[in-house]
Amino acid sequence: MIHLHNILRHIFVYAALLIVVIYFVATQPSLLVDWFVPLPWIGYSALAVAGVVALLFGRSRLFWCCILLALLLFFTHGKIAISTEFSSRFLLITLMLLSYLSFAKDNGFSLYNLAITLVKIILIGGFSWVTLSYLPLATQNLISPIYTFANNIDPRLNALYTPFEWLIVYLMLTLCFLRFISISDNNHGALLLSVVLVAMMPAYAQFELHNVLTLTLATSFLYAILKDSFNMAFKDELTTIASRRALMQYVNTLGRKYVVVMADIDHFKTFNDTYGHDVGDEVLRLVASRLNKVSGGGKAFRYGGEEFVLIFPRKSPQEVLPFIEQLRQLIADYPIALRDKPRPKKAPKRSTSNQSQGKTVKITASFGIAQRNKQNSQFSDIMKQADIALYAAKKAGRNCVQLASQPG
C-alpha cells in the first residue's frame, strides 16, 4: 500500500509537469519560440547546472543524462552540418542510453567508475547504431502492421518515426515505466520523463521548442536530486517516517504550547535476539506505520533504535491521552505471524496438513507524556520529562501510558 502511494505521488508530480509542457508546446509554440529566440544558450546552461548539482550529490546517472541531452541538442541543432539521418538516429540512440541509465546504478565519480560507465555507453551506443542500421530491413515485413496501425490513428505519426523506430520508442517507454513502477523515486521519475520528452522531440522541429523540453528536463533533474536528498536527510530509511533530524527542525516551528510523547517498544532487545534482526526490522516498521497514523494533530518521528517521539502542537496532556491510548491498544492487538523456518525459494508442489504454519506473537509499547511549561520551556527539558514518564510506564508493567508529573 505504501509503495502504491509512492507510485501515485510521483506519477502526479511528473505527469503534471508533462501535461503543462505538452499544453504550452502544442498550443503556444509561436509564443515559446519568441520567448526563447534570444536565449539559444538556455538549454545548455540548464543542463550544465543540473550536471554540476548531480556531480556534487553523487547522482552519476543524471550527470550522464545531462551530457547525453546536451549532445542531442547539439547534434540536432548544432552549427556543424550533420545529416538528418544521423540526427534522427542519434535521438533513438539517446532513448536507448537513457533507458539503460534507468536500469543502471549510481556508481559515483571516481576515475575508474567514470571510465567504466563511458565504455558501457560507447558500447551500447555502437550496438544501437548497428541495430538501427541493419535490423529495420530484416524485420520490415514483420513490423509492417505497425505502419498500418499508426496510419489509422493519424498519418502524421508515420512522419515522425518508421515502424521499426516506433517499436524502439514503445519498448524504451515501457521498460522505463516498469522500472519506475518497481523503484518509485524521483530519480526514476525524472529518467522516465526524459525518455517521454526526448521521444516527443521529432514532433517539434524548432530549436527553441527543443530548448523548452531540455530546460524542463534539467529542472526535473534538479527537483529529483534535491527532493530525494531531502528525503534521505529527513526521513528514516528503515521505517520511512520522519527522522530525528526532521524532529529537531520541526521543534523550531512549534509555539508555546505543545505535548511531547516518547514511545518505546517493550522487550525489543529480547525480541530481536530471539527472532532475528529481520523480524525486528519488521516490528519497527509495523510500529512506525501505526504511530504515523496517529490522530489528534500529532506527528510521529523515529528518535533512534526502538524509540519514537510524537509531537502534538497546541494540545494538553489530557487532550492527547485518548489518542495515545488508542495507539497503544492498536499496537498491542496486532498479531505478528512468525515462520518456524525461512520461506523456501520455491513453494512445494503439494502441501500436507501437518506442515508447520509458524506461530503468532504480539508486541506492546510503553508511552510517556510531557508538556511544555514555564519550568520546562526548552525542548531538551521536555524530552527529559517525557523520558522519565516513559521509565515510569516501564516500571508500572509496560504496555501503558504515564503522564509526567506537573509542577505545583
Among 306, 307, 319, 325, the one annotated catalytic = 306
E-strand ranges in 238-306 read: 258-265, 299-304
Q: What's at 270, amino acid-wise?
A: T
Q: How far apart are CA 212 and CA 386, in angstroms?
A: 54
Please name the residue that has the C-alpha cell 536500469: 103
Q: How far apart are CA 291 and CA 280, in angstroms?
A: 17
Q: How far apart are CA 299 and CA 306, in angstroms?
A: 17
Give Cβ neighbours of residue 365 (< 8 Å, ≥ 6 apart).
263, 264, 265, 266, 287, 327, 328, 331, 332, 399
Q: 210 by DSSP, 3-state: which?
A: helix
The grid coordinates of residue 367 equal: 508511552
Strand partners, 300: 310
Give Cβ neighbours of residue 201 (< 8 Å, ≥ 6 apart).
72, 76, 91, 210, 213
The grid coordinates of residue 309 equal: 517521539
Q: What is the dihedral of CA 14, 61, 184, 286, to 10 degrees?
A: -140
How many alpha carbons fall within 13 Å on the CB side of residue 100? 20
Q: How far apart are CA 136 and CA 123, in angstroms?
A: 20
Determine whether 306 is an active site residue.
yes
Please list the active-site residues: 306
